[in-house]
Amino acid sequence: MIRAIVAGCGAYLPARAVSNADLIAEKHIDSDSEWIERRTGITQRHIAAADEKTSDLATKAARNALAHAGIDAAAIDAVIVATTTPDDRFPATAAKVQADLGIAHGFAFDVQAVCSGFVYALTIADNFIRLGQARCVLVIGAETFSRLLDWNDRTTSVLFGDGAGAVVLQAQEGAGTMADQGILSTHLHSDGRHYELLRTDEAGFVRMDGKEVFRHAVTNLSDVVDEALAATGLKPEQIDWLVPHQANQRIIDGTGKKLGLSAERVVSTIALHANTSAASIPLALATAVHDGRIRRGQIVLLDAMGGGFTWGAAVVRW
């Protein structure tokens, strides 16, 4: 059977990193940096420059992923960008990235599943590859989420940041067993009854009932992780790395603990990146691959939860 293997990954963060204290001072937020760090784990976030678009971040992350994979952009036959902050309402940001990379064949489109966007996009790409409709797919999570923030709302404005991460998926023949390299299983869910709990308002600003989202996140992530383990027959101790969406360190710790994983096996980048929505998982992946933690042959579990609600998980043998 055909498997989608991760041939390489890359990331890009805007140059400007803003500490909690600097953000509070600059935007006159009624908060304190100690509260933010204690309740979320966040110490800083990167903020895109005024002329920097989501497609700029996405293209840079994609170039880094292609270089890491040793694959030329000409080999890419699909570009999928998970984003909530497209350059324009249309066309898709993926079309801009495709052109910026000099690709004039294949197809490109965006996926909107907010913070679960990368897991959704990865699942779609995996299906294309396993069906033989694409052989080499760029899957990118890219956000300029800071542009959706109401600086007068302290319950959301301190939580998010900008950035992009990308993976190159490539078709490879596998035996169809869990010993294969590549994406082994994917699990997507949504429940639109909770549409109002995390959304943008008429002005386009993020509004969130943080407590309720937190509560659902803990339950949904726990359930979908169980589902992924059941589908693959893997035991928690066989998971080498949990690479979760980075929304709150307390949620990350909760999922890790539930799996019985020591903190060293959970990749957390929230302290430095904050919540970058669809970009958070590929940013965390790129961090842990490039610093040598995630190695070939290891089992990596991804999970995410976001507005919609949407949530999902993926199991990958790196």
Sites of contact with ligand UT7 (CB under 6 A): 31, 35-36, 39-40, 115, 154-155, 158, 210-211, 213-214, 217, 247-248, 251, 275, 305-306
Q: Which is nearer to ligand UT7, 128 or 160 (CB)?
A: 160
Q: How far is the CB of 42 from ligand UT7 (least distance, A)?
A: 9
Cβ density class 214-236: b for 16+ within 10 Å, e for less: bebbbebbeebbeebbeebebee
Which residue has the CB atom at the shortest distance from ligand UT7?
A: 210
Pairwise CA distance, residues 176 & 291, whole Å: 30
Q: Which is nearer to ligand UT7, 255 or 275 (CB)?
A: 275
Pairwise CA distance, residues 213 & 217, whole Å: 6
Q: How far is the CB of 167 from ligand UT7 (least distance, A)?
A: 20
Q: How far is the CB of 45 from ligand UT7 (least distance, A)?
A: 13
Q: How far apart are the first and last CA of the chain?
A: 17
Cβ density class 187-200: b for 16+ within 10 Å, e for less: bbbbeeebeebbee
Computed on alpha carbons and rounded to an integer, the radius of gyration of the chain in Å comes to: 18
Name the region of 41 (left: φ>0; alpha: ψ -120 to 50; beta: rest). left
Q: Which is nearer to ligand UT7, 36 or 316 (CB)?
A: 36
Q: What are the CA-CA distances from residue 196 to residues 91, 192, 308 (Å)?
A: 26, 9, 8
Q: Which is nearer to ligand UT7, 63 or 207 (CB)?
A: 207
Catalytic residues, by residue number, are 115, 245, 275
Pairwise CA distance, residues 171 & 152, whole Å: 47
Q: Which is nearer to ligand UT7, 40 or 185 (CB)?
A: 40
- 54-69 and 280-290 helices, crossing angle to 10°: 30
